[in-house]
Amino acid sequence: MIKVDGLLKKYGRKTVIDHIDLHLENKTYALLGPNGAGKTTLLRCICGLIPINGGTIKGDNGLIGYLPQHFGAFKEMIVYDFLDYLCFLKKIDKKEREDEINRVLESVHLLDKSSDRCSTLSGGMIRRLGIAQSMLGNPDLIILDEPTTGLDIEERMHFKTIMSHSMNNTRIISTHIVEDIEGLADEILLLKDHKIEVFNEDDFLKLTHNRVYEVPTSQVKENDFIISEYFNQNKQSISRIISDEDRGEPCEETLSDSYIYYFKGIK
Ligand SMILES: Nc1ncnc2c1ncn2[C@@H]1O[C@H](COP(=O)(O)OP(=O)(O)OP(=O)(O)O)[C@@H](O)[C@H]1O
């Protein structure tokens, strides 16, 4: 459990996090926001990696598992030795280490790379090694900063399985790939204008429910909010829009529709 009250974080005069309150339970939270919104900054504050300018962050005194946005394993180390070293840093009992390392490697499908040098892993494998190391010792709090960047589709799907198996801890996952949190996050944390708003997935989708249409671009009206534009097979320009007028049969709304509308369409 994490209790954030009145958190203020600035870089020089620039405010990035403006007095936010956040009470996190043993659930999966997705932290969403555009580039530069302050996701990494917030996660680093919660981990205690950077000083804060005001407010308090309180949590149980347990282990924290953290995957930074830029994770680099020690290149010359063998994968197993690298994780063994992290077990040592996390004060995991020597007798439990081997099982623990095999468990986390297995869960990210890297058990067969256990004896390989970290430098020989691909970018996606390094990312998965990063996810694996965050789970060592079953931390009470797992913070993953863009864990699915660089993962292939199969591994991105598998990531959801891994996360849904961990139960008795608090998990915060930041991403811009909204599909990656579909059906996974218990709560969605939206970082906009230096503040946080919390939604569950259904309520977030409701922002655009029955309001998404695809119309020829020539029929777009002044008050329509354009989500995207594409050319169909007949080379006709089509716009995906949000409209409060009846424009025919509405399309099924997606998390991406709500995301774009929330960050760009709501003033
Ligand atoms: N060490 C720093 N010194 C000064 N400004 C910083 C520092 N780190 C981040 N910032 C600024 O703080 C803001 C938030 O950055 P942050 O990296 O937290 O955003 P983000 O939401 O994680 O972005 P992205 O999705 O691009 O990773 C940005 O405007 C960034 O330029």
User: How far is ligand 1, taken at its centre, from the CA of residue 13, in Å?
Assistant: 14
CATH number of the domain at 147, please: 3.40.50.300
Instruction: Give the residue whose CA is nearest to atom 17 of ligand 1.
Output: 40
- Mark whether 170 and 74 lie in a shared domain: yes
Q: What's the 145 CA to ligand 1 centre distance in angstroms?
A: 13
Asked if 223 and 91 sit in the same domain, the reply is no
The last residue of one of the domains, among 182, 200, 218, is: 200
Residues flanking ligand 1, CB < 6 Å: 11, 16, 33, 35-41, 69
Say if residue 79 is in the same domain as residue 156.
yes
Domain count, the chain: 2
Query: Measured in angstroms, how far is the CA atom of residue 41 from the centroid of ligand 1?
Result: 6
| Token reading at 103 | 């468990």
Closest ligand 1 atom to the C-alpha of 42? Answer: 18
Handedness of CA 97, 67, 154, 31 (dihedral sign): positive
* In a shared domain, residues 56 and 181: yes
Tell me the pLDDT of the chain (267 aa) as tens digits.
899 999 999 999 999 999 999 999 999 999 999 999 999 999 999 999 999 999 999 988 788 999 999 988 788 899 999 999 999 999 999 999 999 999 999 999 999 999 999 999 998 999 999 999 999 999 999 999 999 988 889 889 989 888 887 678 999 999 988 888 888 899 999 999 999 999 999 999 999 999 999 999 999 999 999 999 999 999 999 999 999 999 999 999 999 999 999 999 887
User: Are 257 and 148 in the same domain?
Assistant: no
Q: Do residue 104 and residue 219 come from a single domain?
A: no
CB 131 within 8 A of CB 171: no
CA 172 to ligand 1 centroid distance, Å = 18
Nearest CA to ligand 1 atom 29: 36
Residues 67 and 140 in one domain: yes
CA–centroid distance, residue 43 to ligand 1 (Å): 11
Q: Domain containing 226: what range?
A: 205-265
Return the residue whose CA atom lies nearest to atom 6 of ligand 1. Answer: 11
Alpha carbon nearest to ligand 1 atom 10, residue = 11
Domain end residue (candidates: 200, 218, 250): 200
Looking at the structure, do residues 192 and 220 belong to the same domain, yes or no? no
Residues 63 and 167 occupy one common structural domain: yes
Burial per residue of 192-205, b for 16 or more beta-carbon CB atoms within 10 angstroms, e otherwise: eebebeebebeebb
Q: Are residues 79 and 121 in the same domain?
A: yes
User: Which residue minimizes the CA distance to atom 5 of ligand 1?
Assistant: 11
- ipTM, two decimals, is 0.97
Helix segments in the chain, DSSP class H: 39-47, 79-89, 94-107, 123-135, 153-165, 201-206, 255-260
Give the gyration radius of the chain's Cα atoms.
21
User: Same structural domain for residues 89 and 17?
Assistant: yes
